[in-house]
Amino acid sequence: MTRVKEFNLPDLGEGLTEGEILKWLVGVGDVIALNQPIVEVETAKAAVEIPAKWAGKVTRIFHDEGTMVEVGQPIIAIDTDPGAGDLPETPDVPAPSAASLAAVEVAGDGPVEPGMIGGPAPGGRTAVLVGYGPRTTAAKRRPRSAAAPAPVQEPAAVPREPAPQPPAPPAAPPAVAPRAGAGVLAKPPVRKLARDLGVDLTGIDGTGPGGSITRDDVLTAQSAPAAAPRAVVAPRRPGEREERIPVKGVRKLTAENMVASAFTAPHVTEFLTVDVTRSMKALERLKAHRDWRDVRVSPLLMVAKAALLGLRRYPMVNSTWAGDEIVVKHYVNLGIAAATQRGLIVPNIKDAQDLTTRELADAMSALVGTAREGKTPPADMAGGTFTITSVGVFGVDTGTPILPPGEAAILCFGAVREQPWVHKGKVKVRQVTTLGLSFDHRIIDGELGSKFLRDVGAFLDDPEAALLAWG
């Protein structure tokens, strides 16, 4: 059995056929452990870290960062027995060193423990994502020279100058500068966040262990006013009037889905303005409760609870069009639209109808936190049945959202504002919001859509009474 094995880009599930190399977490010469994350790959649905299938020494990286790679193509080669000595050189392979990979074995040449990398996972899929195996040790990097290539020895009998001079230290960085922040201590996700936000890591004092830079450090630096103008990461060339941004990853998939949905399902949108003062007061009482003091609670929780009760009363809203039939689903995979650095994604909470209010709050917090970190797995974005999008966080009153493919309705939650409102025969200042419900008119007619939206609004107007009446 050969020592050097090629690790192909695995099938990340959900029918994805390619991915973009975002970030290499190891380099040639690194000694890595089994299941250690080695590369961050962006698919059309999420950014995921792929762990190593074998322990050993990295001998070759086949693709640079930013390269699109098809599933099944080799991405890295690993010497699984680096202690056995140098690999023999092979002149047929166009590689300049002993790491020329004379013999290569394709991944998958032996039985693998179920649940580990390459082994069967629940549902018959191959386990390839982070979390399917323990991360035992950190990567060990070999010493690297501060200057670039090793010096070439020259004959001492032929001096280049009349008097030998000691080598002078470089007065400036080399012509080919390293990547921004290469000399600072920060984890790959933090570096990616800094790159996306245009933050220079070299100007940040880390507050993490050992002086490492944390996510909060990057966000603070990005939001704090700078004393001097910050250097632009990609300056616009003089006279440049246009910028071309490649459409790929999440943005490409979102565009395809929205076009397919908009021109397939006949959309109808209805609006309802609601006095949510009682809901906001109920939230404040909930936050003060001893069992909820460590829970992140927002108005979106009340909207989600109202929608789940409405879907229980009108199950046809939680359905999908299947050509010759309508599939009514008696489970709710509740999608929450989340804006991330990579674009809009809609992860969903599986079987949300079975959760208590506290469990729903915890699930929503975990979902949004994972999405903002860019770690949402593709499985969490598949199988949604009903979606809520909150535009109120951006100060927008409402909107006419487009249906996610396969869903019959989507609810838009606008900003909560203090407005004059007639309450008990008098004009008072109340907290008011506007809901927008878009639905597939092939499944949901005006009566059904109106009743569902009305009941969601009734819950938000008086949640205690609605829970007593419907719960």
Backbone φ and ψ of 321, nearest 5°? -85, 125
Contact 217, 194 (CB under 8 A): no
Residue entry with tokens 């996610």:
404
Question: 442: which 2 tokens?
Answer: 């092939």
Residue with tokens 């009941």: 455
H runs (alpha helix) in 245-331: 249-262, 277-288, 299-313
- Quote the Cα angle for 264-267-271, to 5°: 165
| Residue in this structure with the two tokens 């010493």, named with its chain if needed | 143
> By the 8 A CB rule, do 76 and 39 touch?
yes
Element (H, E) at 50: strand 47-51
Give the Å distances, CA to CA, from 347 to 228, 364, 388, 423: 39, 10, 11, 38
DSSP annotation string for 30-80: -EE-TT-EEEEEE-SS-EEEEE-SS-EEEEEE-S-TT-EEETTSEEEEEES
Question: Is 441 designated active site?
Answer: yes
Strand 348-349 relative to strand 334-336: parallel, antiparallel, unpaired? antiparallel
Query: How would you classify residue 113: left for phi > 0, otherwise alpha for psi between -120 and 50, otherwise beta?
Result: beta
Contact in structure between 229 and 203 (CB atoms under 8 Å): no
What radius of gyration, in Å, describes the C-alpha atoms of the chain? 28
Tokens linked to 158: 């032929």
CB count in 10 Å sphere of residue 44 = 22
**How many CB atoms are closer than 10 A to CB 8?**
18
Residue reference for tokens 């809520």: 388
52-63: string of b/e by CB count within 10 Å (b at 16+)? bbbbbbbbbbbb
Q: If you search the block for the tokens 């002078």, which residue do you land on?
A: 168
136 vs 131: CA distance, rounded Å: 12
Q: Which of 63, 267, 423, 441 is catalytic?
A: 441
Which residues are catalytic, by number? 441
